Copies of this chain bind each other. A is one copy, B any other.
Amino acid sequence: MTVPTLKEKPAEAEAVSHELLLRAGMMRSFAAGIYTLLPLGDRALANIESIVREEMNRAGALEVVLPTLHPSDPWMCSGRWQAYGPEMMRLTDRAGREFCLGPTAEELMTITVAKTAPSYRELPVNLYQIQTKFRDEMRPRFGLIRGREFRMMDAYSFHADEDDLEVTYQAMREAYLTIASRCSLSTMVVEASTGLIGGKASHEFMVVSEIGEDLLVYCPGCDYGANFELERHRPGHAFGGESAPIEEVHTPDMMSIEDVASFMGTTPRGVLKCVMYVVGKELVAVFVAGYREVIEAKLAAALGTEDFHVMRDDERELFPTVVPGFTGPVGLAGVRALFDQEVKGARGLITGANKVDYHYRGAEEGRDFVAEPVADVAGPVEGDLCPVCDGELKIARGIEIGHIFKLGLKYSEPLEANFTDRDGVPKPMVMGTYGIGTSRMLQTVVEQHRDDGGIRWPAAVAPMPFEIIVIATEGGGQPEAAARIVSELEAQGFETLLDDRDASPGIKFNDADLVGLPVQVIIGKKLPASGNVELKMRYTGERRDLPLGEAAAGAARALAEAP
């Protein structure tokens, strides 16, 4: 096999791992977010999926395979045919029936199990598939991290009650952590919102990475972690200032929080920020501390709707009573207000004065205005406090490799997925659902295990364990030595990648580092000089000379030591 490596960084590459997978000949793209895995990429994915399969089987889940083409009816029944919007890829068959390409399979799996009409004795049931999934992302990004066609393991469990769901939920959590650990991915479990999947609670499995598309907070002191969408920080910073009389200040041309704070001799920590949202047809003034952002997922939870957006300039005339840029809670009229929890009890605040070019200084909650209603709508900053212990929260970007959900009855009720209970009465099954992105994990492994030279595959995921590099010299016997080592390693059940191309040593060494198999066996001029070959451990860079006769055994030992 000749690996089709690329010398140049492909224009399409948006992340280092994406670039490496393309340059190392692991994959190629056919369209945005749609990839072919070449032989080495396919093997790495197969290794990950084998690990997933082993751990799911060990946890008592049974493998099935649902179709990719989902009829529209069950999705209509659950209400998600509409809810999924343009992310769902849809098509019509020759008879005019509508199908989607499954982005997930709660509906089909629920129907599958419901058809067996189980009794309580047959529960729990936990079924999974490792299947191609489809999501027509607005912005496919970072190669396999956010693709439009991707591989995912999705499991669905069915229970007689919540307690039984809890047992499987915890087992899946452990299985996912084991899977991530076997793939050498350091993973954090965080509380997450349930989004389009729905249900009562969910947890995401996050790998901290600068290319992560999710923001998360975690506590180094305990196991608390959550997605920004629903984290529960306790403010860890002073907000506002000393109690003082309220006074109006002329603040001409100061539109930003920073400008106003600086003019008043303070920082955004002294300023009350107002963001205007159009919610349905109504205007809502959302107040948060000047050093925080409004988190729209939290706002949606507080408002009970996702039908809102930040007021646009062209909408100002619809709401003539407010003064954008200078809106404050003192004397605010004709507009609904919503306050972040941190505003309660704050004093000495700089706020808009509801008058062009004027702010208040010294505004005090409870005296000058009342922060009602109040909700958790602001995001955390470093230094906020853990809601569980006294630790200081950390903020990071994360790649979501897995997500588990307690669904409750969300699907079993509309799809009439019942079991027969001890009392002979049909009841809806309590459900859980569990997804882990295997193709996304493949690239995440590369993102986490690389250096300037290329990929450094962890042994469990590596497409193959060994690369044999032949630097032939006239009469030096290197090709024969390579054949011997290949056959000795094959006899031990190991696959090898052989580079015996007619190319310079430099090209071969660079390609071997780029491709990143765990152990390189270099057969070059040392062989005729001393009878030795050289082992190079890709992860550590460590090199060892060995006599030819001990090379295969030495390579196998080096592999056993490799990360």
Contact = CB atoms under 8 A, between A and B. Distances in A.
A38 B67 contact: no
A375 interface: no
B93 A65 contact: no
Contacts of A112: 28, 36, 38
Given A2-B122, A30-B67, A65-B42, A94 B86 contact: yes
Contacts of A36: 64-67, 108, 112
Given A31-B71, A132-B132, A65 B37 contact: yes
A92 B99 CA distance: 13
12 contacts: A2-B116, A28-B115, A31-B71, A31-B97, A34-B71, A35-B67, A37-B64, A38-B64, A39-B127, A67-B149, A68-B134, A90-B91
A560 interface: no
A81 to B, nearest CB: 15
A400 to B, nearest CB: 22
A490 to B, nearest CB: 12
Given A28-B115, A42-B63, A94-B86, A34 B69 contact: yes
A70 interface: yes
Given A34-B71, A36-B64, A89-B93, 14 more contacts: A1-B62, A2-B116, A4-B116, A30-B67, A30-B71, A30-B108, A30-B111, A38-B112, A39-B64, A39-B127, A42-B65, A68-B132, A86-B94, A101-B101
A497 to B, nearest CB: 11
Among A45, A86, A101, which residue has the most Cβ atoms of chain B within 10 A? Answer: A101
A138 interface: yes
Interface string A112-152: 10011010011000010000101010100000000011000
Given A31-B69, A36-B112, A2 B118 contact: yes
A365 B345 CA distance: 112
A517 to B, nearest CB: 16
A43 interface: yes
Interface in A16-47: 28, 30-31, 34-39, 41-43, 45-46
Which 9 residue pairs of A and B lie closest in terms of their CB atoms, listed nearest first? A4-B116, A91-B91, A39-B62, A86-B94, A37-B65, A34-B67, A2-B122, A31-B71, A36-B66
Nearest to A38: B64
Nearest to A100: B91
A468 to B, nearest CB: 17
B28 A42 contact: no
Contacts of A149: 67-69
Interface of A: 1-2, 4, 28, 30-31, 34-39, 41-43, 45-46, 62-71, 86, 89-91, 93-94, 97, 99, 101, 108, 111-112, 115-116, 118, 121-122, 127, 132, 134, 136, 138, 148-149, 502
A191 to B, nearest CB: 31
A509 to B, nearest CB: 20
Nearest to A35: B67
Nearest to A74: B30
A432 to B, nearest CB: 18
Nearest to A501: B121
A549 B132 CA distance: 46
Given A86-B94, A108-B30, A122-B2, A43 B63 contact: yes
Nearest to A86: B94
A65 B64 CA distance: 20
Nearest to A91: B91
A30 B66 CA distance: 9
A333 to B, nearest CB: 43
Contacts of A67: 30, 34-36, 149
A136 B93 contact: yes
Contact of A68 (B63, B68, B93): B68
Contacts of A64: 36-39, 41-42
Nearest to A63: B42
Contacts of A68: 68, 101, 132, 134, 149
A32 to B, nearest CB: 9
A55 to B, nearest CB: 17
A280 to B, nearest CB: 25
Contacts of A108: 30, 36
A38 B116 CA distance: 11
